[in-house]
Amino acid sequence: AAESSYEAAVTTAVAAMIYKAAATTAAAAMIYEAITAAESRYTRAELRHFRMARSEC
């Protein structure tokens, strides 16, 4: 009985580690996507501004 409860505890701990790693990876991916989207939006706005400034000359 002690062995099976130990196995269950180890399995739960491993599952928790995997879940935590997956959640961390998902969060990192979401953050990266948000940063990339913000960067591309900023770059697009900058390019538009640059084109407008050039056409004024």
> In the predicted model, is pLDDT for residue 57 greater than 70?
no
Q: How far apart are CA 25 and CA 2, in angstroms?
A: 34
Tell me the pLDDT tens digit for each residue of 18-38: 999 999 999 999 999 999 999
Distance (Å, rounded) from C-alpha 26 to C-alpha 8? 26
Share above pLDDT 70 across residues of the chain, in percent, rounded to a whole number: 98
Distance of alpha carbon 54 from alpha carbon 11, whole angstroms: 63
pLDDT, position 3: 84
The pTM of this model reads: 0.51
- In angstroms, the CA 38 to CA 32 distance is 10
Residue 46 CA to residue 52 CA, distance in Å, equals 10
